[in-house]
């Protein structure tokens, strides 16, 4: 794993693999193609995140939700991108030199377009583009990599607990 991300993607993928394996076992999903459902889940999470940023609400003066809420939604999306990387077997990710930049609305639209494209191609290039764009969005939202990591760890634990509780 190389590139710009200081995030320990290797460790995040390791945690994601354990969570996904548990969910698959718990729900009897061995051998099923979960890519379409994970992609739709990702698009739902991206839309929830966009809603909390309120970036597209040109008709409203209300500010974005607090950073804590934004981080929580962000790491849900990150869970699904990592889960897709595992589902597709694209785990040796070479990230580019720079994150994509742009305004929030443009980045959200790009993420939704790239995730729809990944549904068709399932390619490593499109998965990598999706991840780098998500990391670019995180930077644009002002989320530090250490905050993203901490929020990911916390939500990963919540997800395990939910499975233990019969979610
Ligand atoms: O195979 C899966 C399925 C779900 N989740 C996680 C990602 C999100 O953090 C959370 C979404 O759950 P809801 O709150 O939307 O039910 O579940 C995974 O990590 N892997």
Q: Which atom of ligand 1 is nearest to the CA of 83?
A: 20
Task: List pLDDT tens digits, range 114-148.
Answer: 999 999 999 999 999 999 999 999 999 999 999 99
- In the chain, the number of structural domains is 1
How far, in Å, CA of 139 to CA of 59, rounded? 25
C-alpha distance from residue 35 to each of 31, 64, 82 (Å): 12, 31, 12
d(C-alpha 70, C-alpha 142), whole Å: 10
Tens of pLDDT, residue by residue over 76-115, are 999 999 999 999 999 988 787 788 889 999 999 999 999 9
Cα 92 from Cα 87, distance rounded (Å): 13
Q: How far apart are CA 143 and CA 22, in angstroms?
A: 29
pTM: 0.96
Helix axes 67-88, 145-164, angle to 10 degrees: 70
83 lines ligand 1 (CB under 6 A): yes
How many percent of the chain have pLDDT more than 90? 89
Tell me if 90 CB under 6 Å of ligand 1: no
- Residue 132: give its domain's CATH number: 1.10.4010.10
Domain of residue 21: give its range.
Answer: 2-164
- Mean pLDDT along residues 45-65: 98
Alpha helices in 54-123 (DSSP H): 67-88, 104-121
């Amino acid at each position: 794993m190389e590139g710009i991300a200081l995030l320990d993607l290797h460790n995040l993928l390791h945690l994601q693999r354990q969570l996904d394996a548990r969910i698959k076992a718990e729900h009897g999903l061995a051998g099923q193609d979960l890519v379409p459902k994970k992609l739709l889940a990702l698009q739902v999470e991206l839309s929830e995140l966009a809603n909390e940023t309120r970036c597209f609400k040109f008709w409203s003066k209300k500010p974005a939700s607090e950073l804590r809420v934004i981080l929580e939604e962000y790491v849900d999306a990150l869970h699904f991108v990592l889960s897709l990387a595992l589902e597709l077997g694209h785990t040796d990710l070479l990230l580019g030199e720079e994150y994509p930049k742009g305004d929030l609305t443009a980045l959200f639209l790009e993420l939704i377009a790239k995730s729809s494209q990944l549904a068709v191609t399932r390619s490593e290039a499109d998965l990598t583009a999706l991840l780098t764009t998500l990391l670019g969005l995180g930077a644009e939202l002002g989320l530090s990599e250490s905050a993203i990591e901490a929020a990911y760890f916390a939500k990963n634990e919540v997800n395990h607990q939910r499975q233990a509780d019969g979610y």
